[in-house]
Structure 1
Amino acid sequence: MDIKVQPMGDYQTNCYIATIDGKDLIIDPGVDALRWIKTKVKNPIAILNTHGHFDHVWSNTAVKKEYNLKIYTPKDDNIMLQKDPYGMGMPPSCADVLINPDEEIELEGIKIKFHHFPGHTPGCSAIQINEHLFTGDFIFKGTIGRFDFPMSDASKMKQSINKVLKWEEDFHIYPGHGDKTTLKSEIHTLRQWEQSI
């Protein structure tokens, strides 16, 4: 799998293009993402959202219209795509497919698992494709996502950390901001956060 990344907007939100067998999956198209995406994709098949915050979904509609794609979004965050709850002037979008917690889907032979890790947002999910995990704003290199926003929940973040700490396998982690890492590299940090929340 080939993975391309470009930070977008003031918050430097990572937009990813994951290419498997000549098929491009666009993950978290943030502010003004379409211009970059147009230079990198050849055969886009879907838009995947890790969660509903504006800086991750800003260009959903623009990318959808350009390529006639479906948007796949965790169902508990769909309201954020439509309502612009932070008043940032985000173009509204609407998911074509609402993903249930921990649901696995298959797109043109590619298996994709949305692991539900609420806390940062109600629907916050990490998208697994093979041994790669696109964690949105759940796990970053050296830290975790904030849980003091409206619609965040500290107790659910703690539960989500407990959940991922039970995993035995390692993953390459591609976060919503900053550099990539691995789950094994973040175990110590996750345990520290779990104890402090």
Structure 2
Amino acid sequence: MKINVQAMGDYQTNCYIVSVDGKDFIIDPGVGATSWVEQNVKNPVAILNTHGHFDHVWSNDELQKRLNIPLYTPRDDVKMLKDSSWMPALPPSTPDIEVKPDEEFDFDGIKVKFHHFPGHSEGSSMIEIEDAMFSGDFIFERSIGRTDFPYSSPKDMKASLQKFKKFDFDKTLYPGHGGTTTIKQEQAYADYWIQNL
């Protein structure tokens, strides 16, 4: 597996291209991601959203059309792809697949699982592909996603952190902003965040 990353837009949102067995998965194509993605994919098969915030989904529609590939978005965040009341210039997009909580997909033997961790948004998910976990804005290095946005919930975030603590394996985490970390490293801080939300 090869992982290519580029921070996009004013919020430096990480867009990832994950290449496995000759297939390219595009995760969270943010503001201005289209040209970089087109230059770095050979066989794109899907666009995957960790959640619906504008800085993670901005280039969804453009890439869907230009690459002719399906878009997978967590079901509970689909409404945010069209609701531009808080970001008027957001190009609307429509997912081909509305992902159910904790749903797993099989792309010719490549397993892609959406682990549902609401709190930052209702549909917020971490996407697991082989030895990598793309954590969106749920978990960052020594930090967690904000819970003061529309559709955010401190109560849901606490429950999600409790669920996250139960992972009995370790993988590298690739967050929506900033550098990489690991499941085990961030589990060590989970109780702190639960107590301070």
TM-score range, shorter chain: over 0.9
Deviation at 1:88, TM superposition (A): 4.0
Deviation at 1:109, TM superposition (A): 2.2
- Residue in 1 aligned with 2:70? 70
Moved over 6 A (4+): none
Structural mapping, 1:38-117, within 5 Å: 38-117=38-117
Residue type at the aligned position of 1:46? A
Residue type at the aligned position of 2:64? K
Deviation at 1:192, TM superposition (A): 0.7
Give CA-to-partner distance per residue, 1:89-123, whole Å, 9 cap, x none: 11000110000000111123211110000000000
Deviation at 1:85, TM superposition (A): 3.7
Aligned residues with identical type, % of pairs? 54
Residue type at the aligned position of 2:150? P
- Write the distance in 1 (CA, Å) between the matches of 2:85 and 2:118: 18
- Write the distance in 1 (CA, Å) between the matches of 2:191 and 2:66: 43
- Write the distance in 1 (CA, Å) between the matches of 2:39 and 2:46: 17
User: Structure 1 length as normaliser, TM-score?
Assistant: 0.98
Gaps of 5+ in 2: none
- Residue in 1 aligned with 2:155? 155
Residue type at the aligned position of 1:170? D
Residue type at the aligned position of 1:175? P
Deviation at 1:157, TM superposition (A): 0.2
- Write the distance in 2 (CA, Å) between the matches of 1:146 and 1:12: 16
DSSP-derived class of the 2:94 partner: coil
Is the Cα contact below 8 Å between 2:54 and 2:87 reproduced in 1? no
Is the Cα contact below 8 Å between 1:173 and 1:182 reproduced in 2? yes
Gaps of 5+ in 1: none
Residue type at the aligned position of 1:117? F
Residue type at the aligned position of 2:45? I
Aligned residues: 197
The question of 1:130 aligning with 2:130 is answered yes
The question of 1:23 aligning with 2:23 is answered yes
- Residue in 1 aligned with 2:32? 32
User: Structure 2 length as normaliser, TM-score?
Assistant: 0.98
Residue type at the aligned position of 1:11? Y
- Residue in 1 aligned with 2:181? 181
Give CA-to-partner distance per residue, 1:102-158, whole Å, 9 cap, x none: 011112321111000000000000000112100000000110000011110000000
Is the Cα contact below 8 Å between 2:138 and 2:144 reproduced in 1? yes
Residue type at the aligned position of 1:76? D
Give CA-to-partner distance per residue, 1:166-188, whole Å, 9 cap, x none: 11101110000000111111122
- Write the distance in 1 (CA, Å) between the matches of 2:148 and 2:140: 16
